[in-house]
């Protein structure tokens, strides 16, 4: 290996001409490997000087009965967004009938990421649940290289290699747009989520797909990007109103941002839904308490928390099992805003 890089399970698999699952099985002493494959893996390990880390060697026999729920966001985001509390409730439900304890870990900078890496290396947890996944986040890749069971709430891209669970973001967004069009709206803008997150891209894709199918405009001029915060939603709504004063509907990619959009519309003298119809996404408790109550796309966030926990426990029990991805359905909930 050049440049001082340590060989990983991935490089061992490439040298041996087998999959990473096979390498993991050899490391863990599984009998579900042919003699030929075992010899190839052991030869590659010797040639590369690969040292199986304590995580990979101890997955079957060593347990801490503890998993980490890792949130790469600030305390303010954790406390202000209902999504995170719903995920935590779901994870707690998923662990209720087990002896496994839950550790909540915030990773806000490189120092905290290094601290988490040390905890993983020292086998302080049996697995990791990771939420709020950004495309450039190095954490999923680091955890994968370490061989630690890891399940994502969401995904980095449609090509995600780790086990993951996500809502039908594209389909949910499309259903919101179809509802707006069915109500006679003609200029449907969107406040999109971050473009470095699959959830933001997928909801934007669903918005555009539904408009294109109906023959309505879906250009970039109808899009304002925000950061899933209320203030971000308010700012983006203002941008759209300045750019397209005639817009009569907006799909907002989260309820929290929709609350900000509603504030901006009210401050600009626009009546909802008379002048501008608004649809959000999540069906969090906020949606029932906005003025007017928010029409939104329900995603089963607590079920997502339960499901990622179930997948992680299964992966801890059998690290060599095939990775899974699960898509949860969404549902349009009609209230007063559209």
Within a domain: 214: yes
DSSP state of 277: E
Residues 180 and 140 in one domain: no
Report how far residue 24's alpha carbon sits from residue 143's, in angstroms, rounded to the nearest whole number. Answer: 14
Residues 176 and 278 in one domain: yes
pLDDT tens across 193-249, in order?
999 999 999 999 999 999 999 999 999 999 999 999 999 999 999 999 999 999 999
| Mean pLDDT score, 60-70 | 76
Residues 287 and 173 in one domain: yes
Q: In this structure, what CATH number is given to the domain that contains residue 238?
A: 3.40.50.2300
**What pLDDT band is residue 31 in, cutting at 50, 70 and 90?**
low
**Is 280 a residue whose pLDDT tops 70?**
yes
Spell 302-336 as b/e; 16+ CB within 10 A means b.
bbbbbbbbbbbbebbeebbeebebbeeebebbebe
**What pLDDT band is residue 295 in, cutting at 50, 70 and 90?**
very high
pLDDT tens across 68-106, in order?
898 877 666 666 678 888 999 999 999 998 888 898 888
Give the per-residue pLDDT at 12: 86
Residues 108 and 15 in one domain: no
Residues 91 and 32 in one domain: no
**Is 29 a residue whose pLDDT tops 50?**
yes
Summary mean pLDDT of the chain: 88
Residues 111 and 16 in one domain: no
Residue 107 or 121, more confident: 107
Within a domain: 59: no
Domain count, the chain: 3
Within a domain: 58: no
User: Can you tell me whether residue 304 is helix, strand or coil?
Assistant: helix
Residues 148 and 163 in one domain: yes
| Mean pLDDT score, 20-32 | 74
Domain of residue 41, residue span: 2-52
Residues 42 and 74 in one domain: no
Within a domain: 333: no
Within a domain: 60: no
Report how far residue 286's alpha carbon sits from residue 82's, in angstroms, rounded to the nearest whole number. Answer: 8
- Alpha carbon 258 to its chain centroid, in Å, reads 20
């Amino acid at each position: 290996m050049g440049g001082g890089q340590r060989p990983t399970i991935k490089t061992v698999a490439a040298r041996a001409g087998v999959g990473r699952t096979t390498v993991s099985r050899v490391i863990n002493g599984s009998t579900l490997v042919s003699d030929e494959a075992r010899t190839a893996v052991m030869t590659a390990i010797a040639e590369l000087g690969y040292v199986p880390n304590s995580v990979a060697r101890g997955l079957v026999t060593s347990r801490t009965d503890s998993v980490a729920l890792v949130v790469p966001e600030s305390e303010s985001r954790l406390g202000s967004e209902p999504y995170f509390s719903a995920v935590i409730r779901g994870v707690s439900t998923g662990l209720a009938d087990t002896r496994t304890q839950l550790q909540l870990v915030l990773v806000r900078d490189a120092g905290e990421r290094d601290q988490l890496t040390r905890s993983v290396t020292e086998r302080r947890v049996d697995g990791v649940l990771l939420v709020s996944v950004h495309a450039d986040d190095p954490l999923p890749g680091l955890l994968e290289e370490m061989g630690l069971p890891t399940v994502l709430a969401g995904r980095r891209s449609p090509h995600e290699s780790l086990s993951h669970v996500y809502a039908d973001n594209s389909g949910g967004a499309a259903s919101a747009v179809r509802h707006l069009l069915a109500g006679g709206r003609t200029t449907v803008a969107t406040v999109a989520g971050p473009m470095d997150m699959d959830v933001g891209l997928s909801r934007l894709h669903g918005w555009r797909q539904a408009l294109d199918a109906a023959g309505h405009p879906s250009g970039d001029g109808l899009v304002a990007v925000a950061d899933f915060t209320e203030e971000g939603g308010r700012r983006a709504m203002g941008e759209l109103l300045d750019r397209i004063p005639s817009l009569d509907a907006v799909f907002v990619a989260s309820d929290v941002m929709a609350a900000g959009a509603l504030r901006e519309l009210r401050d600009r003298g626009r009546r909802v839904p008379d002048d501008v119809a608004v649809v959000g996404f999540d069906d969090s408790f906020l949606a029932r308490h906005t003025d007017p109550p928010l029409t939104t796309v329900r995603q089963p966030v607590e079920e997502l928390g339960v499901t990622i926990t179930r997948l992680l426990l299964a992966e801890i029990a059998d690290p060599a099992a095939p990775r899974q991805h699960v898509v949860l359905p969404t549902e349009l909930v009609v209230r007063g805003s559209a």
